[in-house]
Amino acid sequence: MNRLYKLDEWRIIEEGFHPEFNRESESIFSIGNGYMGQRANFEEQYSGDSLTGNYVAGVYYPDKTRVGWWKNGYPEYFAKVLNAPKWIGIDICVNKKPVDLTSAKISFFTRTLNMKEGYLDREFKLSVAGNKTLEFNIRRFLSMPEPDAGIIKYSIRSVDFEGAIDFTVYLDADVRNEDANYGKKFWREVSREISQEHGILIARTLKTDFHVATGMCFNFLKNGKETRVNSNLIDLEKYVGNAFKENIKPGDELSIVKFVSVLSSLNNPKEDLMGDVKKRLREISSKGFEILFSDHIKVWEKIWKTSDIVIESDIAAQQAIRFNIFQLNQTYTGKDERLNIGPKGFTGEKYGGSTYWDTEAFVLPFFLKTADQKVGRNLLLYRYKHLQASIKNAEKLGFKNGAALYPMVTMNGEECHNEWEITFEEIHRNGAIAFAICNYIKHTGDNEYLADYGLEVLIGISRFWSQRATWSENLKKFVILGVTGPNEYENNVSNNWHTNSMASWTMSYTIESLLKVMKELPDKYRDLISKTGFDFSGETSLWQKIIDNLHMPFDEGRKVFLQQDGFLDKELMDAGKIPSGERPINQHWSWDRILRSCFIKQADVLQSLYVFEDKYDTETIRRNFDFYEPMTVHESSLSACIHSIIASRLGYIEKAYELYLRTSRLDLDDYNNEVGDGLHITSMAGTWLAIVEGFGGMRIDEEKVQINPLIPVQWKSYSFHARFRGSLFEVKVTKEEIIINNLSDKCLPMVVYGKEYQIAVSEKKAINHRVTRSCTD
């Protein structure tokens, strides 16, 4: 753990420059607007350690994979989000000497991420020319209402220095990805323009041929007054810039306001890009900094109004949860169903920026409860559009008849990952994608989605499960052999309880949904049957046979579900017995040793108990939690939140709080020494769930909202916002009471501790807090 940043309710603050943690800070101070994202790289040149990153959503490159030993079925490429042409560049020379914070003498430095209003500030004081001082003040943001627009205000004020300052305002497409498998550069220049008025670079990606146009123009202000400069034009392959010199005297302030538009062929025809980017530059720059900024912060104001969580008396927790909500909203706005949420969002290259089951299992529930239903719907449509590719993925592995296997990692529906034990075997992801449909409908009541899109996906996935299950003559049961569950510390096991549980549920839900659509929307049903070539009686009777006879490993002695057939043959022991110098085990133990051990990377049986909580009584959940939690090492960022939610459910409030703490400041305090690679964007949603579903006990059940709040002893109170079918409400939990505030325009039925209340419009309903929940609840 490394508490580098100052605690503050609304801001992340780095005081003093820490070049040794620069990569980490570049991740933490990232900004984004769902359309693009920018790490907190410096505008001016910097020769120290840095991961430069500017990512445009949906623009990727299929990098040739690096494989030790090829296996049939492996994909040829791993799609990677690209470090796109650099738009932030403003090089500064003072008396001809470049400003570079690696070698500069600085007497003050601060970086501030303002989460309330969504911008990044940086200030530093530079000692130049002996003992003279220049003050730098830089603000930048990526506009939320105008997502192609990036704006920087870069100001230099002289305290007592007199001399010349050289500015070079530039764009640079000669960038690379650190994670390029063979060191290749992925961008080629298409065209460029540079004039006194603007600079434009159009670059295209190899293979995928995405075109990205980056345009810039800037105003120069001397002491707040716009001043015309005549710049030298720099016109190089992949680089355009305006360079000019200005003298500065003590008291003077020189500022550049740089306006940037980034357009891509995802949204604009390639042939129009040059014209479009010029038009956008005119529009953006004519608004000016102040209007762009105030429009931007209004959007953030609205977001916070409906999704803020307030925690009283725990500033570290308060800062952390806001950081998580802020980053999630920077990463995904839900406007474009072609986009998704990579595990690192726009904050790094790791995991290729691609889509994982994290989206359905963790991020979707967050957006279902905090955003308009369109957002969740777009996340579902993303997968719907990948259905045909998923059928092809399954065919590649030998499946037939429209069986669909969604990829483990993808940009466009094709599988990218190439470890057989993951790619081919971590198939529970298919279940998560099926369950997302049910979860979306439960939250939104959007039943039509099922007939229009959802059921087709469900049929493909159920077909996969029915082919993946095989009959064991020995057990007289159907079995699912050779899988990897969510606990990736076991590979190629048989009858992973979670996988089997997802498989069985998917087939049941698909049958149920088929019957529902058949009855309610017979025309749509007929179309679907014909489109999918579905044989109702043949296919569903096989599914039912599998559902009724699927082997679900169970320990009769302990009365717990078994993670897989061979789990009990392992030496069972508490993770507490692992010497602390050997934690995390994935950095200290060889892979075979991890596989042989009983230690669990992330919630596995418990993942199912979380998803299907209503199928199991509390004592069953408790027995399984008590059995598995001590063996769980939580070496995935997606683990502790699920355990925390279940611990809350069981009334283990201290355990729930301890587990919550493991995730909430994971990045801010860099628990695992890996923040330099980027933030754990998807796990941030889990943290939110640990408060709302965990402490708050929020559930959607039978078309009603339930809450069963607990409060950690460390907190004076906490409150959260959530949505349900068009209603928005706030729940505040104190030690004494629960105050429900219906913020929408219709009456809200809500079940609190099992008792139903009707909360009137604008009513603030207070209900007594049930301080302790019984252990046998």
- Out of 146, 488, 490, 674, the active site residue is 488
Strand, helix or coil for residue 230: coil
Q: Which of 20, 69, 538, 713 binds its own copies (CB under 8 A)?
A: 69
Q: Which of 207, 588, 615, 746 binds its own copies (CB under 8 A)?
A: 588
DSSP per residue, 10-57? SEEEEES--GGGHHHHHHHT-EE-SSEEE----SS---SS----EEET
Q: How many residues bind its own copies (CB under 8 A)?
A: 49
Per-residue tokens: 494: 């048989």
User: Residue 531 and residue 398: Cα distance in Å, rounded?
Assistant: 22
User: Residue 600 and residue 593: Cα distance in Å, rounded?
Assistant: 12
Tally helices (H) and strands (E) across the chain.
21, 33
Please count the other Cβ atoms lying within 10 Å of the Cβ belonging to residue 209.
11
Per-residue tokens: 99: 């400003």
Per-residue tokens: 606: 């418990």
Q: How far is CA 361 from CA 252, 336, 503, 748, in A?
A: 54, 20, 15, 27
Instruction: Please state at what angle helix 681-689 crosses helix 640-649, rounded to 10 degrees.
Output: 10
Q: Which of 523, 548, 569, 614 binds its own copies (CB under 8 A)?
A: 569
- Taking the least distance from each CB to its own copies, the nearer of 396 and 704 is 396
Q: Please list every residue from 360 through 419 that binds its own copies, using CB under 8 A.
A: 396-398, 418-419
- Letter for the amino acid at 425? E
Taking the complex as a whole, the smallest distance from the CB of residue 366 to its own copies amounts, in Å, to: 28
- Taking the least distance from each CB to its own copies, the nearer of 491 and 608 is 491
Taking the complex as a whole, the smallest distance from the CB of residue 388 to its own copies amounts, in Å, to: 19
Q: Under the criterion CB under 8 A, does residue 566 sit at the interface with its own copies?
A: yes
- Taking the least distance from each CB to its own copies, the nearer of 599 and 657 is 599
Give the residue among 200, 22, 174, 168 at the shortest CA–CA distance from 84.
174
- Taking the least distance from each CB to its own copies, the nearer of 12 and 408 is 408
- Taking the least distance from each CB to its own copies, the nearer of 74 and 753 is 74
Taking the complex as a whole, the smallest distance from the CB of residue 351 to its own copies amounts, in Å, to: 11
Q: Which of 279, 516, 570, 583 binds its own copies (CB under 8 A)?
A: 570
- Taking the least distance from each CB to its own copies, the nearer of 398 and 533 is 398
Strand, helix or coil for residue 98: strand
Q: Under the criterion CB under 8 A, does residue 593 sit at the interface with its own copies?
A: yes
Per-residue tokens: 92: 């500064």
Q: Which of 479, 528, 606, 700 binds its own copies (CB under 8 A)?
A: 479
Instruction: Choose the stretch contacting its own copies; rule: CB under 8 A; options: 62-70, 458-466, 607-615, 631-639.
Output: 62-70
Residue 65 is classified by DSSP as: P
User: Residue 26 and residue 39: Cα distance in Å, rounded?
Assistant: 5
Taking the complex as a whole, the smallest distance from the CB of residue 625 to its own copies amounts, in Å, to: 21
- Taking the least distance from each CB to its own copies, the nearer of 43 and 426 is 426
Taking the complex as a whole, the smallest distance from the CB of residue 262 to its own copies amounts, in Å, to: 32
Site string (595-624) toward its own copies, x via CB under 8 A = xx----------------------------
Q: Which of 219, 267, 492, 532 binds its own copies (CB under 8 A)?
A: 492
- Taking the least distance from each CB to its own copies, the nearer of 374 and 570 is 570
Per-residue tokens: 37: 């994202």
Q: Which of 491, 540, 563, 664 binds its own copies (CB under 8 A)?
A: 491
Give the residue among 246, 238, 225 at the shortest CA–CA distance from 168.
246
Q: Which of 8, 48, 73, 545 binds its own copies (CB under 8 A)?
A: 73
Per-residue tokens: 516: 């529902």
User: Residue 618 and residue 466: Cα distance in Å, rounded?
Assistant: 30
Taking the complex as a whole, the smallest distance from the CB of residue 512 to its own copies amounts, in Å, to: 29
- Letter for the amino acid at 748? L
- Taking the least distance from each CB to its own copies, the nearer of 256 and 598 is 598
Q: Which of 131, 230, 474, 776 binds its own copies (CB under 8 A)?
A: 474
Q: Which residues pair with 218 in a beta bridge?
A: 258
Please count the other Cβ atoms lying within 10 Å of the Cβ belonging to residue 599.
27
Taking the complex as a whole, the smallest distance from the CB of residue 421 to its own copies amounts, in Å, to: 8
Q: Which of 68, 224, 538, 581 binds its own copies (CB under 8 A)?
A: 68
Q: Under the criterion CB under 8 A, does residue 243 sit at the interface with its own copies?
A: no
Q: Under the criterion CB under 8 A, does residue 672 sit at the interface with its own copies?
A: no
The question of whether 488 is a catalytic residue gets the answer yes
Q: Please list every residue from 442 through 471 that binds its own copies, using CB under 8 A.
A: 470-471
Instruction: Choose the stretch contacting its own copies; rule: CB under 8 A; options: 31-39, 59-67, 744-752, 759-767.
Output: 59-67
- Taking the least distance from each CB to its own copies, the nearer of 291 and 572 is 572
Which residues fall within 8 angstroms of residue 317, CB to CB, at 6 or more apart? Answer: 311, 661, 664, 665, 714, 715
Residues constituting the chain? 777
- Taking the least distance from each CB to its own copies, the nearer of 130 and 183 is 183
Q: Which of 159, 236, 291, 475 binds its own copies (CB under 8 A)?
A: 475
What values do phi and psi take at 492, rounded to 5? 55, 45
What values do phi and psi take at 71, rounded to 5? -120, 145
Taking the complex as a whole, the smallest distance from the CB of residue 557 to its own copies amounts, in Å, to: 9
Instruction: Choose the stretch contacting its own copies; rule: CB under 8 A; options: 71-79, 118-126, 247-255, 601-609.
Output: 71-79
Taking the complex as a whole, the smallest distance from the CB of residue 479 to its own copies amounts, in Å, to: 5
Q: Which of 481, 739, 751, 767 binds its own copies (CB under 8 A)?
A: 481
63 contacts 97 by C-beta, under 8 angstroms? no
Taking the complex as a whole, the smallest distance from the CB of residue 570 to its own copies amounts, in Å, to: 7
User: Residue 399 and residue 410: Cα distance in Å, rounded?
Assistant: 19
User: Residue 563 and residue 347: Cα distance in Å, rounded?
Assistant: 34
Site string (424-443) toward its own copies, x via CB under 8 A = xx------------------
Instruction: Choose the stretch contacting its own copies; rule: CB under 8 A; options: 53-61, 199-207, 342-350, 562-570.
Output: 562-570
Per-residue tokens: 530: 């014909």
- CB-count exposure of residue 452 (10 Å: 0-12, 13-18, 19+): middle
Taking the complex as a whole, the smallest distance from the CB of residue 560 to its own copies amounts, in Å, to: 13
Q: Which of 494, 532, 618, 706 binds its own copies (CB under 8 A)?
A: 494
Q: Which of 7, 13, 67, 310 binds its own copies (CB under 8 A)?
A: 67
Residue 231 is classified by DSSP as: P
- Taking the least distance from each CB to its own copies, the nearer of 111 and 417 is 417
354 contacts 362 by C-beta, under 8 angstroms? no
63 contacts 416 by C-beta, under 8 angstroms? no
Q: Under the criterion CB under 8 A, does residue 302 sit at the interface with its own copies?
A: no
Strand, helix or coil for residue 729: strand
DSSP per residue, 585-651? HHHHS-HHHHHHS--BSS-SHHHHHHHTGGGS-HHHHHHHHHHHGGGB---STTTHHHHHHHHHHTT
Q: Which of 420, 612, 753, 757 binds its own copies (CB under 8 A)?
A: 420
Indicate if the alpha-carbon torsion angle 317, 332, 199, 187 is positive or negative: positive
User: Residue 477 and residue 500: Cα distance in Å, rounded?
Assistant: 12
Instruction: Choose the stretch contacting its own copies; rule: CB under 8 A; options: 161-169, 449-457, 485-493, 739-747.
Output: 485-493
Indicate if the alpha-carbon torsion angle 406, 412, 418, 419 is positive or negative: negative
Site residues, its own copies (CB under 8 A): 65-69, 71-73, 182, 396-398, 418-421, 424-425, 470-475, 479, 481-482, 491-494, 565-566, 568-572, 586-596
Q: Which residues are catalytic?
A: 488
